[in-house]
Amino acid sequence: MTLYDSYEYLEITKDGPVLTVSLNNPPMNPIAGARHRELSTIFQDVNRDEEVKVVVLTAPGDVFSAGGDVKALAKRLEDKAFETWPQTVAEAVDIIYSLVNCHKPVIARINGNCFGLGASLCLLCDICVIADDASIADPHVKLGLSAGDGGALIWPQHVGFMRAKEYLLTGDSVPAKIAAEIGLVNHAVPRDQLDAKVDEIVQKIVRLPGPGVQATKITMNKVLHRNIDGLVEASLGLETFALLGPEHREAVFALRDRWARKKG
């Protein structure tokens, strides 16, 4: 039995020292329920795996992640089923801290549009490579929510407060090429070159002595940990406050209905 045998919703594949974690919920790869729960533990398990030197975080299809599951959000609001919310918040805290505290470098292979929690996951990684026809955004405000699952904490670390505020307070998308230009991600490459670029970075790291790489990451992330410590819980508390408001309810139902009309 391996560390990863219990994972049913994330797709975990291991090729020597390289572990690939896929969100595995196409076509939009939303993150909710058991998949959210597994994300709260996977990077802790990676830390315990002495064979792994590099992790690649990705998703199948043409979209990295639409973020939260709109259908699940709407059902929770209709049923007033908030009894699992404390567990969801606890998982969210673990997701953020476990990515920051993961000793192994994590490379985000962003194969398409990347929104909300999906964007936070990628930006908490160490290196981001995105398909140049994709966009990245944290549109929580458009759903009447605060960017509480890490977005408000990590965007300013990459692009500074002024740029981060503009994007987070409007919910606007950042095209991949602009995201690379402003330092939100590392590389924006043509979609047919995405795998090659990710593999190039992975192989560079794999060939290096692991202890030196890990110690360097740990040292750099001490600064990040210090900057977010205590704020993670506060940001999720503020998101909870917004979650209970009528604006969130109206926005979620409107988005759900709009998606239903498109499919119809």
Please report, rounded to a whole number, the percentage of residues in the chain having pLDDT higher than 90.
72
Per DSSP bridges, beta strands 18-22 and 54-58 are: parallel
Q: Which residue in 100, 96, 132 sits closest to 117, CA to CA?
A: 96
126 backbone dihedrals φ, ψ, rounded to 5°: -90, -35
Cβ of 259: how many Cβ atoms within 10 Å?
Answer: 14
Identity at 14, one-letter amino acid code = K
What pLDDT was estimated at residue 128?
98
DSSP state of 25: -
The CATH fold assigned to 11-192+209-263 is 2-enoyl-CoA Hydratase; Chain A, domain 1 (3.90.226)
What pLDDT was estimated at residue 264?
59
- What contacts 247, CB < 8 A, 6 or more positions away? 144
Residue ranges for the chain with pLDDT beneath 50:
none
What pLDDT was estimated at residue 218?
96
* Helix or strand (DSSP H, E) at 87: helix 85-101
The pair of three-digit structure tokens given for residue 26, joined into one six-digit string: 């196409």
Q: For the segment 83-125, what is each residue's pLDDT rounded down to a tens digit?
A: 778 898 999 999 999 999 999 999 999 999 999 999 999 999 9
Q: CA-based diameter of the chain, in Å?
A: 54
Q: Are 224 and 100 within 8 A, CB to CB?
A: yes
What pLDDT was estimated at residue 1?
56
What pLDDT was estimated at residue 251?
83
- 129 beta partners: 109, 187
Cβ of 60: how many Cβ atoms within 10 Å?
Answer: 16
What pLDDT was estimated at residue 263?
66
pTM over 0.85: yes
Q: In angstroms, rounded to a whole number, what is the distance separating the alpha carbons of residues 55 and 68?
A: 23
Q: In angstroms, rounded to a whole number, what is the distance separating the alpha carbons of residues 197 and 109?
A: 9
